[in-house]
């Protein structure tokens, strides 16, 4: 099978994005496409696969996100901005209600973060604190600044679903080896956490945050939008940041502007950058991509985002 796609990223969280509105394929096929196109060892690579899907009576269009291992995530807020951009361009609109796997989100064009950086503001939530819905078993209904006995760490965690599950710990300095160790336990889908969870270590830098995430179905990643949203809400919930105040959230891929409200809604404003567009053959059964054709490089967008990242360093 051959697919057209755009290689894009939100805050360094990169994906092939397919306009799937006219494609009727089984989930097992999309899982194979994700494993092929998002394979870092292959010719495209990415943190997952994004799909722009049809809307319905309540939504202008939809989004699906498959991780690089073929599993489907409830959402991906960095990816949502990219899908929203594609949907805006397809429908000639600048705001939309977007259907996600288990929830909805609002997206709209925002003032550019920097010259030449296409910027989308997204509103997602409400944040969910009841971990029995994940499920996370044996820790009660809520985890706020608590240790979790099944993890190989004595750190305190706060559990937030956005709507995908996140364990957030605030640290003085990020220990990546420890983060990977904790993330690996969650990734193994133990009996007490059968649907796995994302794990983030977060540094408070003045009034801003720096987030490092071990992402479910991906591993250690330069950026995870829902992790940034969960981290902002957790920071407000634990009194580190005030609700209703906009701050910058940094990661290895760049940054977003974020604001959490006491009702659980979180707004993120960040880039939706196109790197290149093209097509590839996909062997769905083997999860292999090949014969990639590049039709266009978005050099101006690449340079504009590089200037933002260089300004952070």
Catalytic position from the list 8, 76, 82, 186: 76
What helix, strand, coil percent values describe the chain, rounded to 5? 20, 40, 40
Query: Which of 82, 186, 224, 236 is labelled catalytic?
Result: 224
The token pair that represents 59 in the structure block: 């939504």
Active site residue 224: yes
Is 186 considered catalytic here? no
Q: How many CB atoms lie within 10 A of CB 211?
A: 25
* Omega cis (within 30) before 126: yes
Give strand ranges (E) for the chain. Answer: 2-10, 13-19, 48-54, 61-67, 72-73, 95-99, 104-109, 119-124, 158-161, 165-170, 198-205, 208-215, 219-221, 247-251, 254-260, 266-271, 273-283, 288-297
Burial of residue 102, with CB atoms counted within 10 A of its CB: 0-12 exposed, 13-18 middle, 19 or more buried: exposed
Catalytic site positions:
76, 224
């Amino acid at each position: 099978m051959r697919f057209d796609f755009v290689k894009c990223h939100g805050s360094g969280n990169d994906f092939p994005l397919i306009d799937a509105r006219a494609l009727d394929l089984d989930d097992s096929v999309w899982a194979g496409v994700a494993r092929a196109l998002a394979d870092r060892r292959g010719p495209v690579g990415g943190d997952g696969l994004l799909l722009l899907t049809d809307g319905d009576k309540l939504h202008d269009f939809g989004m699906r996100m498959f991780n690089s291992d073929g599993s489907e995530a409830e959402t991906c807020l960095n990816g949502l901005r990219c899908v929203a951009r594609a949907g805006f361009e397809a429908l000639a609109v600048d705001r939309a209600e977007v259907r996600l796997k288990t929830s909805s989100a609002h997206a709209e064009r925002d003032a550019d973060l920097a010259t030449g950086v296409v910027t989308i503001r997204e509103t997602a939530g409400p944040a969910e604190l009841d971990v029995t819905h994940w499920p996370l078993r044996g820790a009660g209904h809520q985890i706020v600044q608590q240790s979790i006995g099944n993890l190989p760490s004595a750190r305190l965690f706060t559990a937030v679903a956005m709507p995908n599950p996140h364990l957030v710990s605030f640290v003085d300095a990020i220990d990546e080896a420890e983060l990977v160790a904790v993330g690996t336990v969650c990734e193994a889908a133990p009996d007490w956490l059968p649907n796995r969870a994302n794990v983030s270590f977060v540094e408070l830098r003045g009034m801003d945050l720096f987030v490092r995430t071990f992402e479910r179905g991906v591993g250690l990643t330069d950026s995870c939008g829902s992790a940034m949203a969960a981290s902002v809400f957790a920071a407000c919930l634990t009194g580190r940041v005030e609700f209703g105040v906009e701050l910058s959230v940094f990661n290895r891929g760049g940054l977003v502007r974020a604001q959490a409200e006491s009702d659980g809604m979180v707004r993120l404003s960040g880039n939706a950058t196109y790197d290149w567009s093209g097509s590839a053959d996909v062997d769905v059964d083997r999860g292999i991509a090949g014969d990639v054709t590049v039709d266009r490089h978005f050099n101006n967008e690449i340079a504009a985002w590089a200037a933002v990242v260089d300004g952070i360093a």
